[in-house]
Amino acid sequence: MGQPWVAGSAEGAPARLPLVIPALWAAAVALELAYVLVLGPGPPPLGPLARALQLALAAFQLLNLLGNVGLFLRSDPSIRGVMLAGRGLGQGWAYCYQCQSQVPPRSGHCSACRICILRRDHHCRLLGLCVGFHNYRPFLCLLLHAAGVLLHVSVLLSPALSALLGAHTPLHAATLLLLPWLMLLTGRVSLAQFALVFVTDTCVAGALLCGAGLLFHGMLLLRGQTTWEWARGQHSYDLGPYHNLQAALGPRWALVWFWPFLASPLPGDGISFQTPADGGPVAS
């Protein structure tokens, strides 16, 4: 049975996937944006006030994006270091043979992180870390601001892209938009033209993916479900939209989207959870 536990990983530190690919992509986007804004046709024409507002929006988006990335990566959503002694054996608790520990309801073992995660949602492969009770807020805010930043970059690149596409036939332009690699490999476009189309394509696709993820997790947020519970049709922890928002994002759930460092302490501990049936903790 279980250890008298401060839980720890039986297999050492989590195996985070390298962040090389997203870091390289972010660097490519930043370089292309700088190239287009400085050497290319520049940003869309705007008046002084609109330009100032655009700069303020960019700073706000970047601060929120980087702040939430930092909070997400620094968080430990696992049972590592969590005092579970004497709290097990209640309803919903289970024994994890890999961690050699009793684990609370809604937790789940992650083979990539190699430890059980509190209120496990899913493993984010892009950032190499599980999404769980302690980092759900930065994950959601990250989706929102990543979508915003990528849309903003797409808008800034649009004059250069329009100029490039307008210089070619519609068929050439459509092929370039959809299959930029093919056009590069067949020598139909230069490396600079390819880079512009490729970066813009991935920014638009990334924004759509982040937007879709935000809609999906917004639905889960309002229902009080994890992805795992949604896939199995479980609604055991649905306290109604308002209380679900508070449970996942804290009392300032409406404001956390605007500043990553705003204090909004979570009401629970990731170990016991309120249910609509009893109004009290599932296990303690």
Closest to 116 (Cα-Cα) out of 11, 222, 256, 234: 11
Quickly list DSSP for 23-85.
HHHHHHHHHHHHHHHHTSS-SPP--HHHHHHHHHHHHHHHHHHHHHHHHHHH---BSTT-B-T
160 binds Zn ion (CB under 5 A): no
Residue 52 identity:
A
113 binds Zn ion (CB under 5 A): yes
Stretch that binds Zn ion, among 106-114, 189-197, 253-261, 275-283 (CB under 5 A): 106-114
Query: DSSP secondary-structure letter at 134?
Result: G
Residue 265 identity:
P
Min dist CB 209 to Zn ion, Å, is 19
For residues 243 and 41, what is the distance between their CA atoms, to the nearest angstrom? 49
φ/ψ (deg, to 5) at 116:
-75, 145
Residues 74-103 that bind Zn ion (CB under 5 A): 96, 98-99
Query: DSSP secondary-structure letter at 83?
Result: B
- Nearest residue (CB) to Zn ion, 99 versus 150: 99
137 binds Zn ion (CB under 5 A): no
Stretch that binds Zn ion, among 68-76, 115-123, 140-148, 243-251 (CB under 5 A): 115-123
Min dist CB 93 to Zn ion, Å, is 12
From the list 96, 113, 124, 141, the catalytic residue is 124
Stretch that binds Zn ion, among 17-25, 111-119, 160-168, 264-272 (CB under 5 A): 111-119
Please identify which residue in 106, 119, 123, 217 interacts with Zn ion, judged by CB under 5 A. Answer: 123
Q: Is 147 in contact with 214 (CB distance < 8 Å)?
A: yes
- Nearest residue (CB) to Zn ion, 79 versus 207: 79
110 counts as catalytic = no
Alpha-carbon 56 to chain mean position: 23
Per CB under 5 A, residues contacting Zn ion are 96, 98-99, 109-110, 112-113, 116, 123, 130
Residues with catalytic annotation?
124
